Structure 1
Amino acid sequence: MEPQVSFLTFATADLDAARAFYVAGLGWAPLLDVPGEIVFFQVAPGQVLGFFDAEKFAADAGGAVPPAVSGVTLSHNLGSRADVDSTVALLESVGGAVVRPPSESAFGGIYNAHVRDPNGVVWEIAHNRSWSVAADGTVSLG
């Protein structure tokens, strides 16, 4: 199997809160939005982030309603420390909860913060001077 993730889909107990945070708050345009069911956003070439009503997610997966998101972060890497500060402020202004404010990471050379969206998804907002992406999409972690 080729190493690729096409969809990241999270069950959400409050689809309207997810929509408000990402669409009204951040200005993201949905790729597909089915009220009461699911909303998808294209977040990279060939990659989609989705929020699926928890009960419908469970029915689709053939099981019980899943627990809240835990032990996962989505990372958004930026070009500068100032970009981290302003992005964290934006996320907080549209309903995100700052879990850890912008600061130097214990992992050398990374300036980052963690912000939880209204559905419990934690975003790491970071400036990592060793992070780069080549023209062909290959990632280098330095």
Structure 2
Amino acid sequence: MDHRLSVVTVATRDLDSARTFYREAFGWDPHLDVPGEIVFYQVAAGLLLGFFEVGSFDRDLGAPAGTTIGPSGMTLAHNVGDRDAVRALADAMAAAGGTVLKPPQEGEFGGVFHALVRDPNDVLWEVAHNPSWRIADDGTVELT
């Protein structure tokens, strides 16, 4: 059996703001878009990132309405090629409606230069450049 992560789905209060943010900040076009319900983006080979309207998400889980409010205690990370790309993407995310929580700066751990940005639905993103890491053309992350 192949145990591989293929979809990350996030409950979102405002599906339209998520759609706008990811189009404007990252330039992503939806892989599948069901208005009022869910939108999926192909974010890497074999990996979809989905945003599911919270009411539909709760119904799908069989949870009482309004109990699912989104992620906490986690970040999604986008690693880029250099420090200027960190600055540029953090700026694009802010212009698209994100909130910069930590402007581009040296990180405390592992030689990373990064920024932290919250999307309009409270998803936390780390935009990072780590000169010790390499992202291969096939998406494999090489840690050195």
Partner AA of 1:98 in structure 2 = V
Structure 2 gap segments, 5+ residues each: none
> If the length of structure 2 is used for normalisation, what is the TM-score?
0.91
Question: Cα–Cα, structure 1 residues 71 and 83, in superposed 2: closer, same or farther, change >3 Å?
Answer: same
Q: Deviations over 1:73-118 (max 9, x none)?
A: 0100011001101111111011010011111001031000100000
Q: Is the 8 A contact 1:15 1:52 kept in 2?
A: yes
- Aligned residue pairs total 142
| Two-structure CA RMSD over aligned residues (Å) | 1.6
Cα separation, 1, equivalents of 2:99 and 2:38:
23
Moved beyond 4 Å, runs of 4+: 134-137
Partners of 1:110 and 1:126 within 8 A in 2: yes
| 2:105 alignment counterpart | 103
Deviation at 1:3, TM superposition (A): 4.0
Q: Say if 1:26 and 1:94, in contact at 8 Å, map to a contact too.
A: no
Partner of 1:59: 59
Verify the 8 A CA contact 1:88 1:125 in the aligned structure 2: yes
Partner residue in 2 for 1:15: 15
% identical equivalent positions = 51
| Matching residue's letter, 2:112 | I
- Decide whether aligned partners of structure 1 residues 19 and 60 sit closer, same or farther in structure 2, where only a CA change above 3 A counts: same
| Alpha-carbon distance between aligned partners in 2 of 1:87 and 1:135, rounded to the nearest angstrom | 20
Q: Is the 8 A contact 2:11 2:53 kept in 1?
A: yes
Q: Is the 8 A contact 1:31 1:40 kept in 2?
A: yes
- Partners of 1:110 and 1:127 within 8 A in 2: yes
Structure 1 alignment gaps of length 5 or more = none
